[in-house]
Amino acid sequence: MIKLSNLSKVYRTDEIESTALNEVSFEINEGEFVSIMGPSGCGKSTLLNILGMLDKPESGSYQFLDNEVAQLKEKERSDVRKKNIGFIFQNFNLIDELTVFENIELPLLYNKVNSSERKKRVNELIEKIGISHRASHYPQQLSGGQQQRVAVARALITKPPLILADEPTGNLDSSHGNEVMELMCELNEAGTTIIMVTHSAHDASYSNRIINLLDGQVVSEKKSKSVQAAI
């Protein structure tokens, strides 16, 4: 699904040039659940942004579903993104002015899905993640765990083949965090590819592969414990 070769990214400010990613190469196949780990500032988030086509690499190649996407224009990237990728953020990033239902519905609006279809799909999904009684509430009225489940639902609503999660449990206590991780596992079992940036070894243990980054370079790749145990 994803093939990176020699991908680099450099940030420049007036005086300083800092390398965020340095010649990163790896592949991710469809149906995988991959965690990206590493200390603060190692380039995890940069990598995730480039994978999500929110940012452009400096050099190198990024093949997404067999197409080269590294140097696409903003509009083209936005089109690929809209159809294929769902995002989940550490701080949820729900729109405060929209209700739970409307937040989840939003990507469908931008994908021009008609109203009855939207209603059907949002209701189904809300049911599935167990927050249907909260459908007309606003984000501020929900607990952190509930907010993140709404965010997950929003990422899922267009049924994207790939989900990118940036520390999805970082703002949650452990029980809420586990709820979210279990939800992600279910998704993965249903066939969605997931790439997750995390600090937490516990969270990473839900995935089937872990990529460790340090100073912008991949230092190790290994199957996670649970996968190893299954083997």
Partner 1 sequence: MFKNYLKVAFRSLNKNRVYSVINILGLALGLTVTILVFMFIKDETSYEKHWDGYERVYRTGIKADMMGQKMDAPVSPSPMANALRTEFTDVETATRINTINQEIMMRHEQTKVYIQKGVYADSTFFKIFNYEFVHGDPNTVLKEDNAIVLTEETARKLFGDKSALGELVNYDNRQDYVVKGIVKEPKGHAHFHFDMFMAQNSIRNVWMQNNFHTYVKLKEGADYTAFETEMKRNFIKKIEPDVERFLKITVEKFFEQGNAFEYQLQPLKDIHLYSHKDWEIEQNGNIIYIYVFIGIALLVILIAGINFMNLSTARAGKRAKEVGVRKVTGASRKMLIVQFLTESIIQSFIALFLAFILVELFLPGFNNIMETNLYLFNDHLGMTLAFSLGVTLFYGLFAGSYPAFFLSAFQPIAVLKGDLTKTKGGTLLRKSLVVIQFTASTILIIGMIIIFKQISFLQNKDIGFNGDQVLVVPIQTDPMVENFRNYKDIFLKNSNVLSVTRADYYPGDTPNQNMYAVEGNEEQFPLWNLGVDYDFFKTLNVELLEGRKFEREKESDSIPYFIINETAVKTLNLENTVGTRLGTFINQNGDMAYGNIIGIVKDFHIEGFNQPIRPMVLSISNNLWFASFKIAPNDMSATVDFIENEWNKLEPTHPFRYTYLDQKFGALLRQQENFGTMFLFLTILAIIISAMGLYGLASYTAEQRTKEIGIRKVLGASVSQIMNMLTKDFIKLVLIANIFAWPITYLLAKNWLTNFSYQIDMPIMPFIFATILALIIAIITVSSQAYLAANSDPVKALKYE
> According to the binding rule CB under 8 A, does residue 49 interact with partner 1?
yes
Q: Which stretch binds partner 1 (CB under 8 A): 6-14, 86-94, 193-201, 217-225?
A: 86-94
- List the x/- string, 106-135, binding to partner 1 by CB under 8 A: xx-xxxx-----------------------
Cβ within 8 Å of residue 33, ≥6 positions away: 184, 185, 188, 193, 194, 196, 206, 207, 208, 209
Please give the single-letter amino acid code of residue 190. A
DSSP, collapsed to helix, strand or coil, labels residue 114 as coil
> According to the binding rule CB under 8 A, does residue 58 interact with partner 1?
no
DSSP, collapsed to helix, strand or coil, labels residue 115 as helix
With CB under 8 A as the contact rule, the residue among 55, 63, 171, 225 that binds partner 1 is: 55
Q: How many residues does the chain have?
A: 231
Where are the extended beta strands (E) located within 51-134? Answer: 59-64, 67-68, 85-88
Q: Which stretch binds partner 1 (CB under 8 A): 17-25, 81-89, 127-135, 183-191?
A: 81-89
Is-contact 184 33, C-beta < 8 A?
yes
Least CB distance to partner 1 at residue 230 (A):
33
Least CB distance to partner 1 at residue 155 (A):
9
With CB under 8 A as the contact rule, the residue among 75, 116, 133, 175 that binds partner 1 is: 75
Between 28 and 153, CB nearer to partner 1:
153
Residue identified by tokens 């995890």 is 44
> According to the binding rule CB under 8 A, does residue 144 interact with partner 1?
no
Strands 209-214 and 33-37, by their bridges, are parallel
Least CB distance to partner 1 at residue 133 (A):
21
- List the x/- string, 89-108, binding to partner 1 by CB under 8 A: x-x-xxxxxx---x--xxx-
Question: To the nearest 10°, the Cα dihedral for 220, 209, 104, 107?
Answer: 70
> According to the binding rule CB under 8 A, does residue 81 interact with partner 1?
yes
Is-contact 170 197, C-beta < 8 A?
no
Q: List interacting residues with partner 1 (CB under 8 A).
A: 45, 49, 52, 54-55, 74-75, 78, 81-82, 87, 89, 91, 93-98, 102, 105-107, 109-112, 154, 158
